Amino acid sequence: MATVHVQVAVEVQKNEADAAKRTIVYPVTTSEVSATETVSKAGGAFDTSAAAQAVLDGTLVKLVLPVADLDTLGTLAYKLEGATDTVYLSGIQVRDYDPYSEGAKSDLALHFNAA
């Protein structure tokens, strides 16, 4: 059984209702969906999650984060255990603002354009 660490850079609004805005696509080493999903919120211990997974194509998987996992600000990490691999998915940030809003996009543009 292999252990794989996948780092993503994703921001999600706290308690986001729109499933499209809380869907993450990431690569894996085998085309399997994990049997057990657990989540760590803001650095806490791993606990059960109702995250939904689906293989998109070969070794590309999508994970839809449940709203219940988005109730705490800070970082999320998922431990996804399958028959052959365990994937640790990290780099997800739960924010108190909508990263898709125009204001958030403007702030990001100003940050990168400031010299």
SS (H, E, C) 30-74: CCCCCCEEEEEECCCCCEECCCEEEEEECCEEEEECCHHHHCCCE
Distance CA 78, CA 45 (A): 11
Domains defined for the chain, CATH in brackets: 2-113 (2.60.40)
Integer Cα distance of 105 and 100 in angstroms: 7
pLDDT at 111: 46
d(C-alpha 110, C-alpha 104), whole Å: 10
pLDDT tens over the chain, length 115 residues: 789 899 999 999 999 999 999 999 998 887 777 889 999 999 999 999 999 999 898 889 999 999 999 999 999 999 999 888 899 999 999 999 998 887 665 454 444 444 4
pLDDT at 109: 47
The confidence score (pLDDT) of residue 11 equals: 94
The answer to whether 75 touches 82, Cβ cutoff 8 Å, is no
pTM of the model: 0.84
- pLDDT score for 35: 81
Check residue 43 and give its pLDDT: 95
From the list 51, 69, 52, 62, the residue with the least C-alpha distance to 24 is 62
Instruction: Give residue 103's pLDDT.
Output: 66
User: 49: closest CA among 22, 26, 18, 11?
Assistant: 22
